Structure 1
């Protein structure tokens, strides 16, 4: 990433901010889409601009850098899932800065459901490492599968919806066995996991993603999530990460903004689920 990204000389502060967001967005499109999003997939198919990644248990993830003929590309994916009964679930993320007229309408017509909007955050890793946990809270990387499962179950309880703990555990363990540096961290108090999240360095780049951050409601507002993020980022920096990105809910976005990350665009996960027989 060019050093000019942090050059605020010339123009007004607003101009400098807009230039920085534009530069960060260009880096996001170049480095954090397509191949970076399909790490851990068991198979990746290319259809024109589409990257269609197959994960375990019949899950597809669809991504791209630029999209031509949005309605036509959605129809391609719809035909694929119609022809293949093994596909049980599909996720397609839209980005607010993409030029893709008619995409949301096409997804809706194809039976996809829009999830909650999220903010794409990006910035210097070094801005996130200064926080320490409050008294009585311990931070550590989880390496034992039983502890990892407990943390992932806690995340399921926070997020609600379809349980993902067993699937995520398999995915993390598989990726780790393949030599990837994905890590799961937790914050504990009195032996109880109260917050957890992943750090996911992007192979071959100076980027890492922070994902899955969840904190039990009674423990929010104490700086635990901020400290857990700092611990994860310090670990990623030890592997060469300089830049951190995250798709953030409205719970975590303000924390990351206060730490120096910038909202560069928005994203909405659209999902399709095969009806139960």
Structure 2
């Protein structure tokens, strides 16, 4: 099945509720009307809901304000994750009016794992799985350099989930250093797995590492019974993924509000 509408229905039905249905260690999940609110001790909060919140106007404004006030009291920032096909359509404007700031919009693409699993040969680069905190520190350093910003906030997340069988961390190593890394996060009880990461050091780009990491994780996914692979793709990775056969189904934008 590669029809975009059918893939989106499958995503909405199975995978989009992962954040609040299968919370990470130490996460606290609360429901406020149609919304699910997730808080952690070590990073910003998260809010999202079903494809149609079922509220508009002043009622929607009140719902937004409650989430903002909740995390303000905790002295934490918040990400409200939205998808491009969500209702009500006024939600983004209401979030902006409440003081939220839009992050970069990403494209949600979905592909069949069996179509992405063809191995990619790499010259002098080795892919391996890891659950070692020492490797986490190395891959965070490499990813921060590749992204051009510190992503150290991921370290507690990786440490918390290092023994989770539904998360597979893969590093690409060359000349004794980690040059790229990526994760497969399987959504329990569904046919979906999410692909995350994949940033590569500048001097190692253009050598097929990103494609190889996709193929490696697709192979793992197939062995685990995963049918669909989903990516929140940046504009850098989207063309690569579409050439591999991933299909655009919607967009996603996080709206962030920091406490004053």
Question: TM-score by structure 1 length?
Answer: 0.85
Give the C-alpha shift of residue 39 in structure 1.
Answer: 3.0
Is contact 1:115-1:268 (8 Å) kept?
A: yes
1:208 deviation in Å? 0.4
1:76 matched to 2:66: yes
Give the conservation status (yes or no) of the 8 Å contact 1:34–1:51: no
1:102 maps to which residue? 90
Alignment partner of 1:175 is 2:157: no
Q: Pick the aligned partner of 2:220 from 235, 244, 251.
A: 235
Query: Residues of 1 paired with 2:234 and 2:77: CA distance?
Result: 22
Question: Could you tell me how far apart the structure 2 residues matched to 1:133 and 1:54 are?
Answer: 41
Task: Determine whether 1:164 maps to 2:151.
Answer: yes
- 2:199 is matched with which residue: 199, 214, 217? 214
Across the aligned residues of Structure 1 and Structure 2, the Cα RMSD in angstroms comes to 1.8
* Counterpart secondary structure, 1:228: helix
Report 1:1-277 matches (<5 A): 5=1, 20-36=3-19, 39-40=23-24, 42-65=27-50, 66-67=52-53, 68-69=55-56, 70-82=60-72, 84=73, 86-161=74-149, 163-165=150-152, 167-177=153-163, 179-275=164-260
For 2:249 and 2:147, locate their aligned partners in 1 and report how far apart those are by CA, in whole Å: 24
5+ residue gaps, structure 1: 7-19
Q: What is the distance in 2 between the residues matched to 1:105 and 1:217? A: 37
User: What is the CA-CA distance between 1:58 and the residue it aligns to?
Assistant: 4.9
Aligned length: 253
Higher helix share: 1
Q: 1:74·1:110 contact (CA, 8 Å) conserved in 2?
A: yes
Q: Distance in 1 between matches of 2:32 and 2:194?
A: 26
Question: Structure 1 CA distance, aligned partners of 2:144 and 2:258?
Answer: 18
Cα shift at 1:88 = 1.4
Shift of 1:36: 4.6
TM-score normalised by L of structure 2 = 0.90
Asked which structure has the greater RCO (Cα within 8 Å, sep 6+), the reply is 2
Is contact 1:57–1:88 with CA below 8 Å preserved after alignment? no
Q: 1:80 to 1:33 in 2, by over 3 A?
A: same
